[in-house]
Amino acid sequence: MSESIRKQYNIPEEAKVLLYVGNISQNKNQEQMVRAFALLPEDLQRKSYVLFCGQDNDNAVKLHDLIKAQKYADHLKLCGGIDKKEMPKYYQAADGVVLLSFAEGFGLSLIEGLYFGIPCAMPFDLDAFSDIFDESASVCINNRSDDTVASNIEKLLSSEWNKNAIKDYSRKFAPAAMAKNYIDVYKKLLF
């Protein structure tokens, strides 16, 4: 399956692929991902691609222009809105998921990546950080400067990750496990 996504976007099989999932918006902060990508070591830029999966809108014009100005613009792919049935193919092709949103209540794209055994990178101040972060499955971006984001993306791409351990960790987000946790919280509040 992952071969078809790589083929579709003309990505070499040995290249690293990052997913950035979410409709194009100032809040989702895709522009910082582009700026941080430009700060990666050139060799890593040459060997890496970012797939931005999400609907274009009025904010996309600025993102398009920012991407066009990059040396490796052809490594930053705006994929548009992706049908939910097709998203597993994207996760299977990916080596990591990044989310730099300014406000993110749940972090669904991060959790979906974990389900596929894919590590993620997220800022420490993301609303869902304390619920999602685990050292065995994710990288903490401890401040929002472009340099820090770039160094943590480099860490995400250059670290060895245990795909099965990440999948095991993702089980905590299974509907039954989450429902049990909510019921436990309610019981504590009631008694």
**CATH number of 73's domain:** 3.40.50.2000
The 10s digit of each residue's pLDDT in 71-86 is: 999 999 999 999 999 9
pLDDT at 18 over 60: yes
Mean pLDDT over 150-155 rounds to 98
3-state secondary structure of 141: strand
pLDDT at 142 over 50: yes
| Confidence bin at 189 (pLDDT 50/70/90) | low
Look over the chain and give the mean of its residue pLDDT values, rounded to a whole number: 89
Lowest mean pLDDT among 8-12, 24-28, 29-33: 24-28
Question: What pLDDT, on a 0 to 100 scale, did the predictor assign at position 190?
Answer: 65
pLDDT at 116 over 90: yes
Distance CA 144, CA 92 (A): 28
Query: Taking the complete model, does pTM exceed 0.95, yes or no?
Result: no
Strands (E), the chain: 16-21, 48-53, 76-80, 96-98, 120-123, 138-141
Question: What pLDDT, on a 0 to 100 scale, did the predictor assign at position 178?
Answer: 46
Distance CA 157, CA 180 (A): 34
What is the 8-class DSSP label of residue 18? E
3-state secondary structure of 171: helix
Query: Residue 52's domain spans which residues?
Result: 2-190
pLDDT at 179 over 50: no
Number of folded domains in the chain? 1
3-state secondary structure of 1: coil
Question: What pLDDT, on a 0 to 100 scale, did the predictor assign at position 103?
Answer: 78
Mean pLDDT over 12-36 rounds to 94
Lowest mean pLDDT among 65-74, 87-96, 169-178: 169-178
Strands (E), 22-158: 48-53, 76-80, 96-98, 120-123, 138-141
pLDDT at 177 over 60: no
